[in-house]
Each structure stands twice: as structure tokens, then as C-alpha cells.
Chain A
Amino acid sequence: MRFAEAWRVALDALRANRMRSALTMLGVIIGVASVVVLVAIGTGAKREVERQVEGLGSNLLVVVPGRIDIGSAPAVSRLDLADVDAVSRVVGDPSRVAVTVASGETVRAGRRSDFTTVQGVLETTPAVFTRRLGRGSYLTASDVDTSRRVAVLGAAVAGALFGDRDPIGQQVSIAGVRFRVIGVFAPLGQSLGVDRDDEVHIPVTAAHRLYGTQRIDGIAVKAPDRERIDDLGARIVAELTRRHPDTEFSAVTQQQILGVLGDILGVLTGVLAAIAGISLLVGGVGVSNIMLVSVRERTREIGLRKAVGARPRDIGLQFLLEAVLLTSIGGVTGMALGVGAALTADALSPVPAAITWWSLALAFGVSAAVGIVFGVVPAQRAGRLDPVVALRAE
């Protein structure tokens, strides 16, 4: 009964000061909405990255010299094709092994030119990574064996050099050496910030001749299944370490890449949510402020209620409920607003946004908690008012 009365009085107080209540709620609404929107964008970005990493091909294992560590400089590679053969023997299936030796080069066709990444590769590349051709054909084993000067263009490179013309059979010059275009990749788009349509594939042997080197930058292996991927990586690293005792090698799986990227994006999402949380905090201070005003305004009412038998707890509950009601209504409104804004951003802009139930629960829980935390002091003050003083108040 006492609780029902406190509830009724709290609602009545909010209704009696509509404008003030609405403005106070606005602080909470903005805070909750920004938490919901920013967490949605952070979550959306994380999912997008996961999708793209998965899109590189499944069960992928990348072997590179040096230690894989965010922030460390890439090590100079001492791998060569003999090492690739050794890795193939460990894997037991050469068609599952791809290599790359990359260099930034200017590619010309007639008067047009494009600066792009030229990758020396094996004929296994489309199978190891999931790459589809748009036109023509890919490199063959014999192209690699004979260092044939043939090239497969990324969709963007083909567009830059040939526009709408069909590049198949046309000549391009890479670093001054002529190559014949035999295929064009289907467009892939961006992946992890890299334009994957902006590259040219040539046989690794031709690349070695072109660059005057024998090195291999990295080896990629498509494992037969997910269970054996870590074991396979360890065996490859052991074999390479045996061949190059003074060099360190790392084998990285998609899961590890996802883990690292996920951690980074998780931290970013957390930071965004924390910044939004600050505005929620400011909203809470506003609630506290208004509640103190409310207590002061209703001092006589408090005195009267105490005179007729309200205990300090009854008065405190009444004001605490008023504060919690303010922030809860604000919280629900902010949630609706935040979900709406996130869905709109997702639909109308390239920003991905994903609503998660936990972010909604968190936002609402926090806003209700803000009401309790910031309502407690004014409520206690109301509860402790001396009835004699309160009754005399103007």
C-alpha cells in the first residue's frame, strides 16, 4: 500500500511538471541512445570484419617469416621455392599450397598506366584463396614452370588500363617487361582496408626474373579440415625452422587473425560505449539536480506527510521512485531512438550496425541504475527532513 502510494505520487509529480520532466529525461534519452547506436556500430564493424576474414577462404593457414605481432615491422624473408617444395611435402598435397612475392609496380597499356601490387604466384592461388575469374583463364602449371609472361588483372586494374575494352589477349608492360593478359578477376571489393581488385597476378618464376630475386614473401596453405589446422601449422613451422635455424617463422590461422582483430574492435566498441556512457552520466547528474529542486519545492508536502505518519523511508521511496521513473522512461525512449538511428544508419549509409540484446539490456539497466544512484541523495535528504522545519517552509 505504501509502495503503491509512493508510485502514484511519483507519477503525479512527473505529470505535474511535464516540461521539466521531459527536459530532464532528454539527458538520459541522449545518453542511452548514443550507447545503443555506438555499440551497434561497433558490433556491426566487428561482424563485417569477421565476414571479410572468412571471405578470404576457409581453413587458411598463412606462414610468414618472423613473429606475427601487431606493430612489429615485417621481417625480411629468406624463404625460396625450395622451401615451398618442403612445405608441400609436409602438407602432402602441392595443390593446397600457394605463395606470394609482391612488389609495387607501374603497369602500362598503351598510354594508360596504373601503379598496383604485382604478385608472383603459383597456379594454386584460386583454389587456396577463394578467388573467381570474371573473364579468361588463370595461370597454369606450365605458365609457372616456363616463367611465361602472362598476367591476370584485378578488376580495378583492368578498368584503369582498358576501360570498357576486353583486355584478354592484350599486352601490358610491367616494369618495362611485356606480359599478355589471359584473365581478369571478378570484382571482390575491399577487405580489411585493402582494395583486393587492385592487383595483378603473374607466375612466381616470372616475378623472380622481373625483380631479380629468389625470395618468397609468404606461403599460404589450405588445410584439409579445421581440426588439424594447428597441428599442420606447427609441423610446417618445425620444417622451416629446421631448414633455416636462425630464422623465426609463424603460422597464423584465420581464427587467430579474427581473434586479434576482434580484440581491437572490442576495445574500440568499449571506448565508444564509455564515451556515450559519459553523456548518460551527465544525464544522471541532471536527474539528481532536478530531484533536489523537487525536494525543495515540496518541503511542506514532506512535512505534512511526516506529520500524519510517513516514515523517513516512505518519503525516501517516493522520491527515489520519481528519479527511477524519470530515468527509466528516458531509458526506454532512448533505446527506441537508438535502435531507430542504428537501423537507419545501417540501411542508408555504408556504416554497418548490429543491434544486440545485451546492449539494450545494458543501456536500460544502466539508466535505471543511474536513477537509483542519482536519486538516492535527494531521496535521503527528503527522508531526513525535520518535519517541524519542513512544515514551516514557504
Chain B
Amino acid sequence: MATPAIEAVDVSRTYQLDGVSVPALRGVTLTVAAGDYVAVIGPSGSGKSTLMHLLGGLDRPTGGRLVLGGREVGSLTPPELATLRNETIGFVFQAFHLLPRTSAVDNVALPLVYRGIGARQRRERAAAVLGRVGLGHRLHHRPNQLSGGEQQRVAIARALVTDPTVLLADEPTGNLDTVNGQAVLALLEELNTESGVALVMVTHDNEVAARARRRITMRDGVVVADSAADDPPADSAAVPDGPAAGGDADPTAGDGTERAEAAR
């Protein structure tokens, strides 16, 4: 098997708040294989957001060993960490985090700016990825001219444009209605299946989590349950035939909506 996308060994993160040490993570050990589909669940305050920040290279652990894309995070400087994020991680946020006053194609092209790619090539690649998420007809729309579901798909395109090894999604459906949420979820799952990008998704929606191939449950800064550990054969198996809950429907934008409606 190829090198894991993420490898965490006894990782901890302690915050200093007014001189008081507040442990948010207390020794988390987990491995995310390339192309895996993992849901991280747990109540608020369980440390799942902190874990996401660490796995995304936005933050560095205060203890333990964390390897992203073959590099030990703890030893990297902020600029090196920025480059690592650019090359290996794609983020999808609950609040989309698109730049206002900036067209969809330029929003998607943004990570390529920090890779030093020329403007024309940036736009070409961004347009191609937007086409892939079903927004080929919305290239020059600004975020406020797009629906919530479309905005999240622009954000997904932005996460994908750099060909990352891991897609980190933090409550990606949290700000969407059921229909759009289902569509976005279907899109993420399709990308995971087709391009082999590992998908790690934080959610507190059990229904969403149930669709993942693997579920990690957090509580009080530690992993209390990991379906991979509970049921290793299922997880070490090859990638299943399709999205866990998507059936055989074609999960493009419009179809996603239809399928969600059909599912009711």
C-alpha cells in the first residue's frame, strides 16, 4: 500500500489561555490511507475541530508526531507549512469562505496564485475544475450571485484545483438545506471515488457520518471509537464500487437534487 495521506501518532494539542493550560487533544493516534473516506464525529468541545486544524496543517501539535504528505509537521516553519497546505490539502469550510467581489473562476484559481502559476493557466485549470463540479456555466458569477449550494461547490472546486491528497471538509453541509446538502455530499463522495483523494469530514450529523466508509468518534480530546479498528477487514478492503449512499445515480448538480428528492 502507498504511504498514508495522514499519519498521527499520540498527537496532542494544548492551548495556553491566560496562563492556564487547556488540553484540546490528548494523544490521538490515527492513520488515513490514500483515498480513504473518514467521518469525524463527536459533541462540541470533543476536539474534532482542533484535530481538523492539525490534519490540515493550519496548526502544529504540541506533542506527538504528525506526518502530512510525507512531512513531519512539527518541524516545519510557517512558510513551509503554507507550501505543504497548498500542495497536499484541500479545505472545504462550513461557511464556504469565498472571496467576495471575486468571480467563481478567480476564487477557484486562488491556491494556484500561491503556487506561482501564470494567470492564463490558472484560469484554464480553474474553469476545468468548475466544469467538473457542474458550474461550467457560472465561471464569472460572484459569490453573491450564486446559491448556497453553488457557493459550496465553488469552494470544493477551489479545494480540488491543486490536486490535493486529502480533502478536509468541516461541516460542509452545515449551512445548506437538505437538498443542497445531499448534492454537495454526493459530489464530495464522487470525487473521493473517482480521483482517489482522501476525504476527511467533520460532522455532527449522524446521517451524514453514516455514509462514510470509516467513522472516528471523538470525546474529551481522545478517539473513543474508530470503525476501522472495530472492523479492520471492511476498511482495508479496496475502494468500494460507488459512493456509500449514492446508489448508481449520476451525481452531477441537477441529478443530485433529483436524487435527494427521490430519497424522501
Interface residues of A (CB under 8 A from B): 1-2, 4-5, 12, 16, 300-301, 303-314, 386-388, 391
Q: Which residues of A contact B101 (CB under 8 A)?
A: 12, 16
Nearest CB of chain A from residue B18's CB, rounded to whole Å: 16
Whether B85 lies near A301 (C-beta < 8 A) is no
Known pairs A2-B114, A388-B58; A306 contacts B82 (CB<8 A) = yes
B111-150 to A contact mask, C-beta < 8 Å, 1/0: 1011111110000000000000000000000000000000
Whether A310 lies near B116 (C-beta < 8 A) is no
Whether A307 lies near B85 (C-beta < 8 A) is yes
Q: Which residues of A contact B71 (CB under 8 A)?
A: none
Given contacts A2-B114, A311-B114, 9 further A-B contacts (CB under 8 A): A1-B117, A2-B113, A304-B110, A306-B58, A309-B83, A309-B86, A313-B79, A388-B53, A391-B93
A309–B87 Cα gap in the complex (Å)? 8
Whether B111 lies near A309 (C-beta < 8 A) is yes
A49–B114 Cα gap in the complex (Å)? 59
Q: Which residues of A contact B118 (CB under 8 A)?
A: 1
Whether A307 lies near B78 (C-beta < 8 A) is no
A388–B99 Cα gap in the complex (Å)? 17
Known pairs A388-B53, A388-B58; A309 contacts B117 (CB<8 A) = no
Sample 22 A-B pairs with CB under 8 A, ordered by A number: A1-B113, A1-B116, A1-B119, A2-B113, A2-B114, A304-B97, A305-B110, A306-B58, A306-B82, A308-B85, A308-B114, A309-B87, A309-B162, A310-B82, A310-B114, A311-B79, A311-B82, A311-B83, A311-B114, A312-B82, A314-B114, A391-B97
Q: How many of chain B's residues have a CB under 8 angstroms from any CB in A?
A: 27
Q: Which residues of B contact A4 (CB under 8 A)?
A: 119
Whether A388 lies near B59 (C-beta < 8 A) is yes
A2–B122 Cα gap in the complex (Å)? 12
A309–B117 Cα gap in the complex (Å)? 13
Residue from A2, A304, A307 in contact with B56 in the complex, judged by beta carbons closer than 8 Å: A307
Q: Main secondary structure on chain A at its contact with chain B?
A: helix
Nearest CB of chain B from residue A308's CB, rounded to whole Å: 4
Nearest 10 A-B pairs (CB), nearest first?
Answer: A309-B86, A309-B114, A308-B111, A311-B79, A311-B82, A5-B113, A304-B97, A387-B58, A1-B116, A388-B53
Q: Which residues of A contact B119 (CB under 8 A)?
A: 1, 4
A72–B16 Cα gap in the complex (Å)? 71
Q: Which residues of A contact B116 (CB under 8 A)?
A: 1-2
B117: nearest chain-A partner, CB-CB: A1
Whether A307 lies near B99 (C-beta < 8 A) is no
B149-190 to A contact mask, C-beta < 8 Å, 1/0: 000000000100010000000000000000000000000000
Q: Which residues of A contact B37 (CB under 8 A)?
A: none
A306: nearest chain-B partner, CB-CB: B82
Residue from B56, B99, B158 in contact with A301 in the complex, judged by beta carbons closer than 8 Å: B99
A144–B208 Cα gap in the complex (Å)? 120
Within 8 A of A (CB), among B71-118: 78-79, 82-83, 85-87, 91, 93, 97, 99, 101, 110-111, 113-118
Nearest CB of chain A from residue B99's CB, rounded to whole Å: 6
**Looking at A2, A4, A391, which has the most chain B CB atoms within 10 Å of its CB?**
A391
**Looking at B56, B93, B113, which has the most chain A CB atoms within 10 Å of its CB?**
B113
A309–B116 Cα gap in the complex (Å)? 11
Whether B86 lies near A308 (C-beta < 8 A) is yes
Q: Which residues of B contact A300 (CB under 8 A)?
A: 97
